[in-house]
Structure 1
Amino acid sequence: MKFALVLASVLLSPVALADVYKCVETDPVTGQKRVTYTNTRGAKGCERLSEDLPVSSVPGAAPAKKPGASSPGAFPRVSSDDQRARDAERRKLLEGELAAEQAALEEARKAFAEADAVRYGNERNYQKKLDRLQPFKEAVEQHERNVEALQKELSGLR
């Protein structure tokens, strides 16, 4: 057992004692220097560290965010009166769209009912009639989904 431990430590020791290089690179955009540590000799700017210096591979802590800083300082602020006016304008626009969509839904339902009332002579097979009515049915379903989405959006407004 002891022999296996000694053998493993001898085999792994070159890995543990590998050379460590400190590379300093300058970012061409910001001009800031960035330091990286590696076990392989990289491009220019890398120098071998002496073996007695400890090198940590644990990343540093991320900078803490300020509690009230959700937007940049130069981000434009809107007064509450302006925001209320915008909300009212949006509500008015959505109500207009809802009314237009409800009218389109009623018209699509009417067109579907008219097409459903007619049966042509070549439609002895009922599937042919269903195939002819499918676009009308899809139009009704699309308008119903649009009305539902607009109502949901209106209910979410303040």
Structure 2
Amino acid sequence: MLNRLLAPLLAVASLGVQAQGTVYRCPGPPVLYTDALTAKEASEKGCRTIEGTPITVMQTVKPRAGATAAAPAAAEGQRGAESRVDNQQQRARDDERRRVLQAELRQAEERLSSAQKEFNNGQGERRGDERNYQKYLDRMAELKDSIGRYESDVQALRREIAKLP
């Protein structure tokens, strides 16, 4: 008798789940949550099913037409005021930027030189804490990677300095 009472309830509950459909989470920027795909389409796109997880959909608020027209005009007015810098002030800014970039370049070159000296073309000295040879190899690999990064930093800073008037 209990089975007769539960059978209709289970049928109604299963209909509710079926009406909702299967929800898929598809990878990629942006991540897509959808129930509009077939199982075949979902597997082709690399989507996976989401079961038992509630999904909240939030809609964005559209800005009012009056607010959007006023914002670009205000931004344009600010840009116009910023672009009116006299030559002497601009020269001072450029000189300051050059000074800062040159200081960064000196530091980057020092880091590169220090790392190259320690690396010693892959024949760096073993430290006392490197009784295990693998630790030494790991440190050498790290140094080699660091040298590559430092070299790219130096090149990037030189390019930035070359762009300055």
Q: Which of the two has greater helix per residue?
A: 2
Normalised by the length of structure 1, the TM-score is 0.47
